[in-house]
Amino acid sequence: MAQNVESVAFVFIIDERWFAPSVHGFDRMGPHRMRFMVQSVLALEQALLEQGHELVVLTGDPATCIVDAANLLDCAQVFGQKEHTQEETDAENQIESVISAHWIEGQTLLHPEDLPMSLNDLPEVFSRFRNKVEKGGLKIRPLVHVEQWPTPIKVNALLVTNWLQRCESVLCPSFMPGAMVFEGGVLAGRKRLDAYLWDTRLLSRYKETRNGLLGYDYSSKFSPWLAWGCLSARQIHADVLRYEHEIEANESTYWLIFELLWRDYFRFIAMQHGNRIWSMFGIKGEAVHSHVKPHESSWQNWINGTTDDDFVNANMRELRATGFMSNRGRQNVASYAIHDLGLDWRPCAAWFERELIDYDPCSNTGNWLYVAGLGNDPRPNRKFDLPWQTERYDPDGLYRAFWNSPSRP
Ligand SMILES: Cc1cc2nc3c(=O)[nH]c(=O)nc-3n(C[C@H](O)[C@H](O)[C@H](O)COP(=O)(O)OP(=O)(O)OC[C@H]3O[C@@H](n4cnc5c(N)ncnc54)[C@H](O)[C@@H]3O)c2cc1C
């Protein structure tokens, strides 16, 4: 994109709706996600400054802000990342109705146009999708390096805002000793990639460790940087290929790419099914699991980590305190919420949207539907056996002891 224009201005929009309560009655962006976003934006601002460019940060309705900024800066075209969920496509359409706009598919490992099937023919089961895209080798577009930056457009004083002040009101105050802390930004993302692959070679054992619960090392932790565009799936893939060439290739190195394909798959499913992914019965379109009537305190107990299950509680407390939860934890708390407490999956998924620093609408909804038996799973009942899971993944109780300790909030 940058190679094809003479001059450019960079704009980041903080969507006003992130501060407002959703239909479920709580705000959409909690303090951890807000902090990670602020750090990422500040890092972007710094990186652009080093290239002689300023970053305009506006708060409001995304389409209105972009069009106003384009007018004030006298821009003839708008470029942005292509998204496929309703709020974002609404904004894209509004922008396109007044100015020439170009949307770039940058989120996925596989470009949607390179899929060996049309979106309408996307297999409803992940393994079939994977077999098809892997046949003959994954087709991945090369990374683009900017050689020559376009000249900067001078920023109009009307576009200088106090956005940071607005965000600071919801930033989280402190962290607990021993808890994981993630820092937003491209450099921090690159540091994590280097640490996981090159400094420690943890990638070589990923398949054996990925179901862990405590600490930084059991899985890559790339998801927050992926969600905020600080790392790209193609960048990770390029590093894994180099690792396989220079260090070793084994089941674990393959498995990381396998997981990135899951991420792609949920995005393609969202593209295929549109707003059906948000409906009560998901893409199945009908109820499939047994009906447990929720107790009136079930919701509060689930979000606060005060249920009858101490494994669920530990995970929900970790989420509240850090903005992160392991994949094993997410599967278990989701199953417990839906199949044991009888909660509607939609407010639960919205709670994840509020709390997770790696929130991604497609991965989040796709996984919730999957656990609910309303998504891409041939098995209708995905109820997890919590006692078995706890015994298998936290046999010594270390994880539960850490997060359920009375000294933790
Ligand atoms: C109920 C539920 C909700 C979830 N919500 C989100 C979400 O909002 N955002 C999000 O990024 N992931 C979500 N996941 C998927 C997964 O739990 C996280 O991607 C993973 O825990 C992030 O940690 P990691 O980067 O260390 O993962 P790793 O195990 O190191 O995997 C590497 C990368 O592969 C991708 N990946 C791994 N597992 C999955 C998966 N099941 N689905 C999609 N992508 C995957 C992620 O991009 C991840 O960063 C959810 C899972 C469940 C069960």
Q: Is 259 in the pocket of ligand 1 (CB under 6 A)?
A: yes
- Which residue has a Cα nearest atom 20 of ligand 1? 327
Task: State whether residue 368 is helix, strand or coil.
Answer: helix
Say what the pTM is.
0.96
Give the other-Cβ count within 10 Å of 358's Cβ.
Answer: 21
Contact predicate 5/150, CB 8 Å: yes
Q: Which of 209, 132, 133 is nearest to 393 (CA)?
A: 209
**Contacts by residues 389-398 (CB-CB < 8 Å, ≥ 24 positions apart):** 389/311, 389/328, 389/332, 390/310, 390/311, 393/211, 393/212, 393/213, 393/328, 394/213, 394/311, 394/314, 398/214
The protein residue with its alpha carbon nearest to ligand 1, atom 3, reads: 364
* pLDDT of res. 167: 81
Q: Is the CB of 376 within 6 Å of ligand 1?
A: no
Determine how many CB atoms are found less than 10 A away from the CB of residue 296: 6
Which residue CA neighbors atom 53 of ligand 1 most closely? Answer: 331
Task: Please state the φ and ψ torsions of residue 299, each to the nearest 5 degrees.
Answer: -60, -50
Residue 289's pLDDT is what? 62
By the 8 A CB rule, do 376 and 370 touch?
yes
Q: How far apart are CA 270 and CA 266, in angstroms?
A: 6
Q: Are 345 and 372 in contact (CB under 8 A)?
A: yes
Helix or strand holding residue 7 (H, E)? strand 7-8
What distance in Å separates the CA atoms of residue 147 and residue 3, rounded to the nearest whole number?
Answer: 8
- Ligand 1 midpoint to CA 369 (Å): 14
User: DSSP string spanning 31-100?
Assistant: HHHHHHHHHHHHHHHHHHHHTT--EEEEEE-HHHHHHHHHHHTT-SEEEEE---SHHHHHHHHHHHTTSE
DSSP 109: S
**In the structure encoding, which two tokens stand for residue 385, read together?**
């056996």
Give pLDDT tens digits for 31-52.
999 999 999 999 999 999 999 9
* Residue 223 Cβ contacting ligand 1 at under 6 Å: yes
Element (H, E) at 111: none
Task: With residue 355 as reference, give the H or E element that holds it.
Answer: helix 345-355
Strand partners, 77: 100
pLDDT of residue 1: 59
Q: Report CA(57)–ligand 1 centroid distance (Å).
A: 29
As a whole number of angstroms, the distance between CA 274 and CA 361 comes to 12
C-beta of 359 in contact with ligand 1 (< 6 A): yes
b/e sequence 45-58, b meaning 16+ C-beta within 10 Å: beeeeeeebbbbbb
Exposure pattern of 179-203 as b/e (b: 16+ CB <10 Å)? eeebbbbbebbeebbeebbeeeebb
Chain mean position to CA 34: 13
Cβ-contact 380, 289 below 8 angstroms: yes
pLDDT at 211: 97
Any atom of ligand 1 within 6 Å of the Cβ of 264:
no
**Counting Cβ atoms within 10 Å, is residue 409 exposed (0-12), middle (13-18) or buried (19+)?**
exposed
From first to last of its 409 residues, the chain has per-residue pLDDT tens of 556 799 999 999 999 999 889 899 999 999 999 999 999 999 999 999 999 999 999 999 999 999 999 999 999 999 999 999 999 999 999 999 999 999 999 999 999 999 999 999 999 899 999 999 999 899 999 998 888 899 999 988 888 888 888 887 667 666 777 788 899 999 999 999 999 999 999 999 999 999 999 999 999 999 999 999 999 999 999 999 999 999 999 999 999 999 999 999 999 999 999 999 999 888 888 777 667 888 889 999 999 999 999 999 999 999 999 999 999 999 999 999 999 999 999 999 999 999 999 999 999 999 999 999 988 777 767 799 999 999 999 999 999 999 998 876 6
**Contact yes or no for 292/387 (Cβ under 8 A):** no
- The domains located in the chain, with CATH, are 7-104 (3.40.50.620), 107-142+187-273 (1.25.40.80), 279-404 (1.10.579.10)
